[in-house]
Chains A and B, each alone.
Chain A
Amino acid sequence: MDMLHISDLHKRFGDREVLRGLNLSVPEHSIYGFIGKNGSGKTTTMKTVLGLLKGDSGKITVNGERVVYGQTATNRLIGYLPDVPEFYSFMTASEFLRFCGEITGMKRKESETRIEELLSLVGLGCEPHRIKGFSRGMKQRLGIAQALLNRPKLLICDEPTSALDPVGRKEILDILLAVREQTTVLFSTHVLSDVERICTDVAFLKDGVTDMQGRLSEIKTKYRGKDYRLETETDSELRLITQAFPHVTIGEGNRATFCESDYTVSDVLHFVADRGIGILKIERLEPTLEDLFMEVTGR
């Protein structure tokens, strides 16, 4: 069953229609990457799922339960990290987490051990100061700790790695990977390498609808290009090939790429075998997420 299902969601701000019939289904135990350029409506979508914004029309369910605006009961299943998390600055990190634990109705003892565990997980274990003095990255880490606190069924993170240093980014991605066993993760990002690193599913948001969505591996297969790359042992051997096949483009090293619409693979391989050319490698090119992103966003 889908952990989160959005169907035909519309949302406009004034005369600007941000979401125009968005559909999204997030299967259980997936790590779902939600990709789109600035201002495409990622944050808007997430806020609507949390009942912080009212969709104009459409239906959202979390774990089969309908989301309503305002007093949103489904939020008890969700851990949320906003794009810019705001805390009560007069509290310390552990005071804030204790406050969160009490609100979600966790048992005192359970929350104490959980808080200690989470604080050391996000690297705020020995931070005695009040949140007032925290840097953006520290707030982001605390934000992740509070989102994970009551072991939510669905974890929604709005650009969780945006304020972090490279080490912090890797740590957070590892945390998201690790919690996959227990929860489902939906996170928005611009950082495609993050997506490639941990996501099982992706959706591209464009013009208020999801342009492309599903398993990352399937999407890649579907959009796999017809391009091949060939690497020979020596320069002269490469030249033999380019003479026989003029449409082959030469790259750096002894590499060349060709498109299947120009020459079939078997033709090229026959030629290679007949001439006894030594090749190091021939491979079909995988599209990078970047290519897909460019293709979807049309830039």
Chain B
Amino acid sequence: MKSLLSFTKKELLEQLRSGKILLVGILFTVFGIMNPAIAKLTPWLLETLKDSLAESGMSVTEITVTAMDSWVQFFKNIPMGLIAFILIQCSIFTKEYSSGTLVLALTKGLPRVQVVVAKATVLMALWSVGYWLCFGITYAYNAYYWDNSIAQNLLFSTLCWWIFGGFIICLITLFSTCFRSTSGVLLGIGGTVFALYLLGLLPKVSRFVPTALTDGTSLIYGVKKSEDFLPALIITAAIGFFTLFVGASVFNKKRL
């Protein structure tokens, strides 16, 4: 137990000293500001383009921006935040394989499962801090300019997206224990998400696929109800824990 704590501490120190914590912080802050900013700037942008648009036969009617537009931006931009997060963190295991730094810790009797648990925990913590920071900033701006209450299921829809991020972290862990190279990890994640996306196109199973959790826009407009997300939530959590379990067992037998 003490060793788990100390390895987690080491991970955090590494994230801090390599500047990754700062990077993630800046990244999600920027995204958090961008969402309301884009919404706020849209009318102004249309206004300046009005003449040229009119020339091409489009008429611009007066539009009013609400918090809704900002939240739509949130769900549009957060995938990019997650992708950037993956790119920053995908080498969290593979770097240790290629440098051989795990050898000393493991030959000192550190249980292998604790390596997996510590790394997954630190990733999840970092993702959570970044994600909710982004959410908080957007929420605060929206409350200042407009009114957040017009978005339905706001907390639930953002919670679903956060859980989808957790699912991706489970995938990072799984593929990091299977592959030695960072490109292997990225290909594994990309391939899985793409396969899930294709699966989601089938009407019969779309409700059960983890990627369904990313459809926050339908939730805040009330097009879908929170109950509709329940199957995907349960299945995502189940697959997530299963991949962690498989990852830990693969890692137990991994040659370092």
Contacts and interface: CB of A to CB of B under 8 A. Distances in A.
Contacts of A88: 10, 14, 101
Interface in B1-38: 2-3, 5-7, 9-10, 13-14, 17-18
Interface string A76-110: 10101010111110110000000110111100000
Contacts of A72: 106-107
Contacts of B100: 82, 84, 86
A105 B108 CA distance: 10
Given A70-B112, A86-B101, A75 B14 contact: no
Contact of B13 (A54, A84, A91): A91
Contacts, number: 78
Contacts of A53: 255
B109 interface: yes
Nearest to B251: A70
12 contacts: A70-B112, A71-B252, A78-B107, A82-B103, A84-B100, A86-B104, A87-B104, A102-B3, A103-B3, A104-B3, A104-B109, A146-B108
A137 to B, nearest CB: 18
B13 A90 contact: yes
B105 interface: yes
Contacts of B106: 52, 72, 75
B52 interface: no
Nearest to B253: A70
B104 A85 contact: yes
B111 interface: yes
Nearest to B110: A103
Given A86-B103, A88-B10, A71 B3 contact: no
A150 B110 CA distance: 13
B2 A105 contact: yes
A117 B99 CA distance: 28
Interface residues of A, number: 29
B101 A52 contact: no
Contacts of A99: 6, 9-10, 105
A76 B108 CA distance: 6
Contacts of B9: 99
By size class, the interface of chain B is 20 to 34
Contact of A102 (B2, B13, B112): B2
Interface in A161-213: none
A71 B18 CA distance: 29
Contacts of B14: 88, 90
Given A88-B10, A90-B14, A90-B18, A80 B107 contact: yes
Given A76-B109, A105-B2, 15 more contacts: A52-B255, A70-B112, A70-B254, A75-B106, A76-B108, A82-B100, A90-B14, A90-B18, A99-B105, A100-B104, A103-B6, A103-B105, A103-B108, A104-B109, A146-B108
B88 interface: no
Nearest to B6: A102
Interface string A38-62: 0000000000001011100000000
Contacts of A78: 107
B256 A52 contact: yes
A90 B17 contact: yes
B29 to A, nearest CB: 24
Contacts of B255: 52-54
A263 interface: no
A103 B99 contact: no
Nearest to B14: A90
B202 to A, nearest CB: 40
Contacts of B5: 102
A69 interface: yes
Contact of A69 (B103, B104, B108, B253): B253
B253 A104 contact: no
